Amino acid sequence: MTAHSRRTLLKAGLTGASAVAAGLVVPSTAFAAVPLVRRDRPVLTHGVQSGDVTPGSAIVWSRADRPSRLVVEIARDPSFRHARRVPGPVVGPDSGGTGRVRVPALAPGTEYHYRVTAEALDGRATSEPLTGRFATAPVGRRDARILWSGDVVGQNWGINPALGGMTIFSAMAARCPDLFLHSGDTVYSDGPLTETVTLPGGRTWRNVVMPEKSKVAETLDEFRGQHAYNRLDDNFKRFAAQVPSYVQWDDHEVLNNWYPGEILDLPAYTEKRVDVLAPRAYQAFHEWHPIDPRQAVDGRVYRSFKYGSRVEIFVLDMRTYRNANTADPAKPGYILGDTQARWLADALGRSTATWKIVQADMPLGLVVPDSPSGIEAVANNLPGAPGGRETELAWVLRQIQRRRVRNVVWLTADVHYTAAHHYSPDRAAFQDFDPFWEFVSGPLNAGAFGPNKLDPTFGPEAVFVHAPPTANTAPIDGFQHFGELNVDGASGDLTVDLRDATGASLWSKTLHPQGR
């Protein structure tokens, strides 16, 4: 029996902000030594979450409202009989009250229940517990169900209590996945929210707002508030408590289309240096997600995970090591950086998994411009031989072919619609690579856009596209998406579904493994 077949289905609910729906404004979440809710005991303020699961360990995350020690109890059943106690860190202002507990010595492919408490530093009081569950990564040929998507609370579309909040997270939970791959744009730090948005036909969208979401994020506390906002939503919190994740970042964790060394010319920002903003955003991102810095190759974002003998996942960072978006798109460029590109080629070459899943935060063949004349993603919008960042991708694809790596699938979000792209040298200007699939799915709660133009350099074909008729279509109008992978442990077949916000499958395809 697989882990997800034992799971209890989650029910959709109203957002945690529903109690303040009348005003639609919630207090700031900046950490303070003074208790924010009660004075007699610590309070866990933003739920729990697990992530970076391996066959023998997992990371558990939570946040307390005052200096205290996080403690995790771990057990194989929800009654917590024979639970094991794992003391965690003391949390306080240095981390905005957040903390991660690494839970070791677990059995592979096993469902665990966890209970988190915050203990007062004087030992006199303990918070009420919050519970969650996760399954460790399996070993051997096991079935697996993996979801992916990205793009949360973008383009002034926030938590709307009248619609039940971000219900797509409950639709994803209802699929009973083993794992969620968050493909970036976990927040929109550059996207302030207003209390109301006028929709076509005279309708009104009403956002829950908070001080940190009322301006662009520049300070560390403002970046922290971006992540805190999403956890006001009950759908989000329930999903996070029940499904472990592998999380990456893209641009909006800092600001739209940023690159190292950029100097801003935007009136909304008093701090114009991206190299000052990005470290603050990076700190907040790591504080608010269950990421194990020991697992990341250089302590940052890119890393890999084996998930049984059928799947290995390679989490990329296509943001930190790129060259300028304004660089000449005809000259060689980079989006992974030499160290990460070589790591990816070597790690793919060493992998013995049937399916090598590359969790990319940007698409490969879609043209994503950066106004007025720059290039944001890989494709340089020029036909013919690889140029710009395409030169680095060409090197990676050539290495995959030369090392005879089979069954590489790329997943991404970013462009706010869903699509299936097949790449083939038979259609390409550059031909030193094997055919492969790229699947795009999003957004989770943001404006819908697209479709984007495909650059012909690597021979992509849009086999399926589901995109809105107009730019920045509201989440209420049906163009929110997530993707699903189902791996058959016995045969090794991989079935891909592109799903809408209700969980309905819009397109499906089964891929059969080739070679090793």
- Domains of the chain and any CATH numbers: 3-511 (3.60.21.70)
Contact by Cβ (8 Å): 74, 82: no
Q: How many CB atoms lie within 10 A of CB 209?
A: 21
Q: Band of the pLDDT at 328, cuts 50, 70, 90? A: very high
Is the pLDDT at 30 greater than 80, yes or no?
A: no
Which residues fall within 8 angstroms of residue 122, CB to CB, at 6 or more apart?
none
Question: What pLDDT does 4 receive?
Answer: 38
Residues 6+ apart with CB under 8 A from 450: 415, 416, 417, 419, 465, 467, 468
Please tell me the predicted confidence (pLDDT) of residue 38. Answer: 53
Q: What average pLDDT does the segment 145-159 reach?
A: 98
State residue 12's pLDDT score. 28
The answer to whether 476 and 198 are in contact (CB under 8 A) is no
Q: What is the pLDDT of residue 295?
A: 78
Of 83-92, 152-161, 290-299, 352-361, give the lowest mean pLDDT range.
290-299
Asked if the model's pLDDT at residue 356 lies above 80, the reply is yes
- Determine the pLDDT at residue 190: 98
Residue 27: its pLDDT value, please?
Answer: 66
pLDDT of residue 19: 36
d(CA 241, CA 352): 31
pLDDT confidence bin for 300, thresholds 50/70/90: confident
Least confident of 3-17, 199-213, 442-456: 3-17
How large is the average pLDDT for residues 432-446?
98
Query: For 450-460, what is the mean pLDDT?
Result: 97
Token code pair at residue 84: 């094991």
Q: How confident is the model at residue 26 (pLDDT cuts 50, 70, 90)?
A: confident
Helix/strand/coil for 492? coil
Phi–psi pair at 246, nearest 5 degrees: -115, 120
pLDDT of 16 higher than 70 = no
Backbone angles phi, psi at 258, to 5 degrees: -70, 155
505, two tokens? 């499958």
Check residue 299 and give its pLDDT: 76
pLDDT band of residue 15 (cuts 50, 70, 90) is very low
Choice between 349 and 6, residue whose per-residue pLDDT is larger: 349
Can the peptide bond before residue 443 be classed as cis, meaning omega within 30 degrees of 0? yes
For residue 2, what pLDDT band results from cuts at 50, 70 and 90? very low
pLDDT of the residue at 373:
87
pLDDT, position 143: 98
Q: Could you give the C-alpha distances from 238 to 131, 171, 241, 267, in angstroms and in order?
A: 10, 11, 5, 38
Mean pLDDT of 454-481: 97
- Count how many residues are written for the chain: 516
pLDDT band at 387 (very low <50, low <70, confident <90, very high): very high
Which amino acid type is present at position 163? L
Q: How much of the chain, in percent, has pLDDT values that exceed 90?
A: 89
Check the CA dihedral 3-8-14-16 and report its sign. Answer: negative
Q: How many whole angstroms separate alpha carbon 112 and alpha carbon 438?
A: 33
Place of tokens 């739209």: 256
Secondary structure of 330-355 in HEC code, one letter for each residue? CCECCCCCHHHHHHHHHHHHHCCCCE
pLDDT given at position 10 = 32
Q: Is the per-residue pLDDT at 386 higher than 50? A: yes
Instruction: Report pLDDT for 31.
Output: 54
Mean per-residue pLDDT of the chain: 93
